[in-house]
Amino acid sequence: MPQEFKPGCARPTGGVIGETSEEKKPEGEQLVKKEGERMILIGRKAPDFSAPAYYRGKFVNVQLSEYFG
């Protein structure tokens, strides 16, 4: 499942998948919304992400949702 990759000298990074842009919203609303978006809740969908990883001698990319099902 995890895809191997060959890194250069830069540190590889991953990130949240399905990130929404917060910049377009009016300022007051943005503050509240930003706080809300940061919360994870038990019983709710886990935010998906991908990240580089070290796994059994290899550098691989791992995505959370690949483990679902």
Partner 1 sequence: MSIDSVFVHKMWNDHELSKMVKGGVPFPMLSDAGGKVGTLYGVYDENTGVETRGRFIIDPDGIIQGSEILTPPVGRNVSESLRQVQAFQLVRKSKRTEATPSGWKPRKMTLKPGINLVGNVWKVWNTEMAFDETAFGDSVGRRAGARHGIACWGDRPVLSSL
Our finding on whether 7 is near partner 1 (CB under 8 A) is yes
The amino acid sitting at 40 is I
Our finding on whether 53 is near partner 1 (CB under 8 A) is yes
CB 65 within 8 Å of CB 49: no
The amino acid sitting at 51 is A
- Residue 3 CB, shortest distance to partner 1, in Å, is 11
Alpha carbon distance 58, 60 (integer Å): 6
Our finding on whether 28 is near partner 1 (CB under 8 A) is no
Our finding on whether 64 is near partner 1 (CB under 8 A) is yes
Our finding on whether 33 is near partner 1 (CB under 8 A) is no
